[in-house]
Structure 1
Amino acid sequence: MQLAFPDAIYLVDAIQGGEMLMKACKPALESTYVTKVIHDCKRDSEALYFQFGIKLNNVVDTQQIAYTLIEEQEGRKRLPDDYISFVSLLADPRYGGVSYLEKEEVRILLRQDPKFWTYRPLSEMMIRAAADDVRFLVYIYRKMMEKLNARSLWYLAVRSALYCRCFCISDNNHADWPSLPPIPDDISAEKNAPEEEILSVLDVPPGKMGRVIGRRGASIMSVKESCNAEIFFGGAKGPPDKVFLIGPVKQVRKAEAILRGRMMDL
């Protein structure tokens, strides 16, 4: 785990430091007062939750959420399947304009050897790559915060919180997690006030996931296009039999109905 501050970067080695080291980090990771800036927090949150019992909180996700909100504010409607990688975000002149070629080298090594990050001691390249993954996040965060209006800041807070919960399957519907940020009074009083946002998890019967996704993702893409909801799958890392939906209540319920109908199709 990498921790970047304005004046330093720390690499927290959970493999060598183990549970004791992660417990020392837990108060800050769960704190409401310490902002955590992460590019795509879903899998990080899942790992922290299931391996160390940490409920990641007060996160700013620079991937889909903040980037998309800024794009929408500036009148650019992004497609449902648009994806902004950290390398692409960093290369964007509005947020960094920095080329990150070594990241691709690390990806190649990781594809060749999935255990790449488990080897110790860390090589100079591994240390440099780990540090570079977070080195620019503080700067990107500040640039993004300058652009977001009050409404977008609320969306960012609530969506980031829902992203943190996304793959963290809970029997109590995340009742023991921090409360979601409420809609501010000044925004709820607006004529087109935003709707409450939720996370919904659908169980997919055995053998039905292919029908839900469709050929080359066509089925799920049509759902995304007709519903203002984000849809995620556990994929190879799991859970493989669930679909995760995030968005306004009515849009999520609409997506649920469509997906359930497709699960029932013969």
Structure 2
Amino acid sequence: MASDPPPPHQTAIPLPPASGDQPLHLVHRTRIPIPPAAVTEAGGDLPDDTDQSSLVPIHIVDDASQLPHEFLNPSADKKLVIGFDCEGVDLCRNGALCVMQLAFPDAVYLVDAIKGGEALMQACKPALESSYITKVIHDCKRDSEALYFQFGIRLHNVMDTQIAYSLIEEQEGKKRAPDDYISFVGLLADPRYCGVSYLEKQTVRVLLREDPKFWTYRPMTEMMIRAATDDVRFLLYIYHKLMEKLNEKSLWQLSVRGSLYCRCFCINDNDYADWPPLPSLPESLVAEGYVPVEEILSVLHVPPGKMGRIIGRGGASITSVKECCNCEILIGGSKGPPDKVFIIGPVKEVRKAEAILRGKMLYI
């Protein structure tokens, strides 16, 4: 009689290190983290979670030698698409980045930024900045900010599933209300893209409220490992489902908006001159005579005491601006920067929003 498959997240024997003086890393196993590329590309179903073959290792990484060679050495000959996310303490420029998750088709790597420190994160920098590795992430803004200010990493070539979802809605002629962004839990639950319930996410949110230092504890607990893995394990499957629906125009808009969102909160003194240029229009769209609407990121400085006028009672003022301007308007808020408003969208709409917001600051 065949033995039952091991329970999810069973801790296996530590793998041997690459050399005698390098640390061991634990390997955990979980069911159906990432559907095989062949299944997702064919639009197939998620693997049966009772199938022994669906068990995929989870590597806890505190040394660069434990990461795949093709990740550490990006190459045009070996382009990659990986699921990506970060966890930390109130993650932003000042909130410590503790764990970085990388989901490959055959494994999940939990990069321990606390134990591995600066050396490990700098080893990951070429991959995170590479155009040869597509990073699939849901809402890249604060993750990018933390990487930039804490490690000098300019996150590049992201496929933001939140942006992709909105673009598909636009393709289908649907309109969304201001701030009506699809949550990651909502995207997972959507049967068109995954159809998976993520009930444990709420448990993790409660734990984070009760103990904001949840992600700092070492060794990582089973709950931490499971929560970190759950945030990336379906991203490659969702990626393929979204890509099936995006037309060429939307794909270009996705790359531009992803670039703008990555640099959004990473404000510096040189107007983002140290960031990669925005993606150019594909030749195929040029040949079709498509005239793109240029999209930009504008950062509006708000003098002391004026932010309340920008936001308004219960957010009414800024909501009204969002409703009349076809652009995204973001506030630094408690994570910062607290005196800035970030506006992303077509040039004409961004300038319109700027004028309205400046007018509100002048109002007495």
What TM-score, normalized to structure 2? 0.71
Which of 164, 182, 191 is residue 84 of structure 1 equivalent to? 182
Question: 1:194 Cα shift?
Answer: 2.5
The amino acid that maps onto 2:193 is Y
| Aligned twin of 1:147 | 245
Task: Give the structure with the higher percent strand.
Answer: 2
| Aligned twin of 2:342 | 244
Residue pairs, 1:246-265, within 5 angstroms: 246-265=344-363
List gaps (5 residues or longer) in structure 1.
Answer: none
Identity of aligned residues (%): 78
Write out the 4+ residue segments of structure 1 that deviate beyond 6 Å after TM superposition: none
Q: Establish whether residue 28 from structure 1 lines up as the match of residue 143 from structure 2.
A: no
SS at match of 1:193: coil
- Aligned-partner Cα distance in 1 for 2:229–2:223: 10
- Aligned-partner Cα distance in 1 for 2:165–2:225: 27
Q: Which structure is larger by alpha-carbon Rg, 1 or 2?
A: 2
Question: 1:72 Cα shift?
Answer: 1.1
Question: 1:190 Cα shift?
Answer: 5.8
Residue pairs, 1:34-73, within 5 angstroms: 34-63=133-162, 65-73=163-171
Q: Establish whether residue 172 from structure 1 lines up as the match of residue 275 from structure 2.
A: no
List gaps (5 residues or longer) in structure 2.
Answer: 1-99
Question: 1:140 Cα shift?
Answer: 0.5
Q: Establish whether residue 202 from structure 1 lines up as the match of residue 300 from structure 2.
A: yes
Q: Deviations over 1:105-161 (max 9, x none)?
A: 000000111111111111101101100100001111110011000100011000000
Residue pair 1:224, 1:231 contacting (<8 A) in 2 also: yes
- Aligned-partner Cα distance in 2 for 1:180–1:131: 31
Question: 1:76 Cα shift?
Answer: 1.4
Question: 1:193 Cα shift?
Answer: 2.6
Q: Establish whether residue 104 from structure 1 lines up as the match of residue 202 from structure 2.
A: yes
SS at match of 1:17: helix
Residue pair 1:188, 1:194 contacting (<8 A) in 2 also: no
Q: Deviations over 1:162-218 (max 9, x none)?
A: 000000012111111111012234435667732111111011011111110111111
What TM-score, normalized to structure 1? 0.97
RMSD, aligned α-carbons: 1.2
**Structure of higher RCO (CA pairs closer than 8 Å, 6+ residues apart):** 1
Residue pair 1:89, 1:95 contacting (<8 A) in 2 also: yes
Question: 1:57 Cα shift?
Answer: 0.3
Q: Establish whether residue 113 from structure 1 lines up as the match of residue 207 from structure 2.
A: no
Residue pair 1:109, 1:116 contacting (<8 A) in 2 also: yes
Q: Establish whether residue 220 from structure 1 lines up as the match of residue 318 from structure 2.
A: yes
Q: Deviations over 1:59-105 (max 9, x none)?
A: 01111x11100011112111122021101100000111100111110
| Aligned twin of 2:109 | 10
